[in-house]
A and B are shown apart, each in its own frame.
Chain A
């Protein structure tokens, strides 16, 4: 049953990505910009922003999973948190890679210590530390507790990153989706939403897979322990 859903998801994902690539690179009209490199680079927006949104979503799941774990002590929630943290780090890594690729032709530099950039890097570091903490601790309820605590405290910095473009002067483009001043042309909006939906589906697929893998590891470890006792 489980694998049927995954297979269906995979097929949908495959076609959704084909469509979004078509939408992003063929269908969406060229933006008006004086610099031709900027016109091409702008298309990275359809990968960059959904990745960032999913990073936030993934870290929210870490937070929610950590709270749920501490309340119920159900290992399931611990594993969901871990899986989500790993995927969140992956997506924020994508953000940190696609950002400089866009910035080089547009700003002329790969990186600047702008608030938005710095805070995204800090966010990445927080969840890398979360994963490192788990590596340093032996498996068990102690590790589950400690990482849940860090998962909850770590999420407190997410709003700071999110609001950083409003709280400080920044070079980073404004949020076009969540603000009233910004507006996207209709085709761009559609392509963006499609890309966002595709990425979200990818997140769902990845977290399912990772969670299954983690439970498998668990069962295997249990069996090994039983064999040792015998």
Chain B
């Protein structure tokens, strides 16, 4: 039943592993963000610790835009978008495939940049840090579930990249704000009782955005 989604996922991942285009670009860009932030806001270590969670998410999502822009731009370039629309399968399948590939690539990039983040901001690793995993997972899924469908919308316009930013940023901002709050709790070691309800809320919005996108994707493909 999910064969189409899995084929798309396999194709995208194979392409990515051969060229390593997205992950490398995202990783380098994140490094740049850390550097730029450092010299534009010359702040003390104490302040740095306070803004670190925000910085982490800025790096994640700004770099994530690369992957999202790539995802459908490549298909369009080669006329594959039309071919996909002609496939006798449910559009939701294509969405799931695209969503999975974007998410997996982004999670891999996040795993690669996180050690650098720890080193740059001199954070101390502890067991409590494992709580970051569900936070990053939930935040990233929210970002990519919305990003995938909006990227498919934006790819039809002349100004794809700017329009994707215009559409995605405001819509995804609640999820990013919550993710930053949650990450801040974990990084400062002050996980309060508000942590799990908030995490659950992010998860709930992930489910809403994913389900809606899955249902609506057919309409984006058709002419």
- Measured CB to CB, the residues of A under 8 A from B are 70, 119, 122-123, 125-126, 128-129, 132-133, 136-137, 141-142, 145-146, 148-150, 152-154, 156-157, 160
Contact = CB atoms under 8 A, between A and B. Distances in A.
A157 B158 CA distance: 26
Contacts of A137: 156-157
A170 to B, nearest CB: 13
B219 A153 contact: no
Interface residues of B, number: 27
Contacts of A153: 146, 149-150, 171, 209, 212-213, 216
Contact of A145 (B170, B209, B213, B220): B220
B77 interface: no
B98 to A, nearest CB: 15
Given A125-B170, A129-B167, A152 B216 contact: yes
Nearest to A140: B223
Counting chain A CB atoms within 10 Å of each CB, the highest count among B146, B150, B208 belongs to B150
B170 A157 contact: yes
B219 A70 contact: yes
B78 interface: no
Interface in B187-223: 205, 208-209, 212-213, 216, 219-220, 222-223
B174 A146 contact: no
Contacts of B208: 156
Contacts of A157: 170-171, 174
A126 B216 contact: no
30 contacts: A70-B216, A70-B219, A119-B174, A122-B173, A122-B174, A123-B170, A125-B169, A128-B166, A129-B163, A132-B163, A133-B153, A133-B157, A133-B167, A136-B159, A136-B163, A137-B156, A137-B157, A141-B223, A148-B219, A149-B153, A153-B146, A153-B149, A153-B209, A153-B213, A154-B171, A156-B171, A156-B205, A156-B212, A157-B170, A157-B174
Interface of B: 146, 149-150, 153-154, 156-159, 163, 166-167, 169-171, 173-174, 205, 208-209, 212-213, 216, 219-220, 222-223
A137 B220 CA distance: 13
A215 B150 CA distance: 28
B147 to A, nearest CB: 11
Nearest to B221: A145
Contacts of A136: 157-159, 163
Contacts of A149: 149, 153, 216, 219-220
Nearest to B217: A149
Contacts of B153: 133, 146, 149-150
A160 B177 CA distance: 12
A133 B152 CA distance: 12
A222 B149 CA distance: 32
Nearest to B219: A145
A119 B173 CA distance: 9
Contacts of B173: 122
Contacts of B216: 70, 149, 152-153
B174 A160 contact: yes
B166 A129 contact: yes
Given A133-B153, A133-B163, A153-B149, A122 B170 contact: yes
Nearest to B198: A167
A99 B154 CA distance: 33
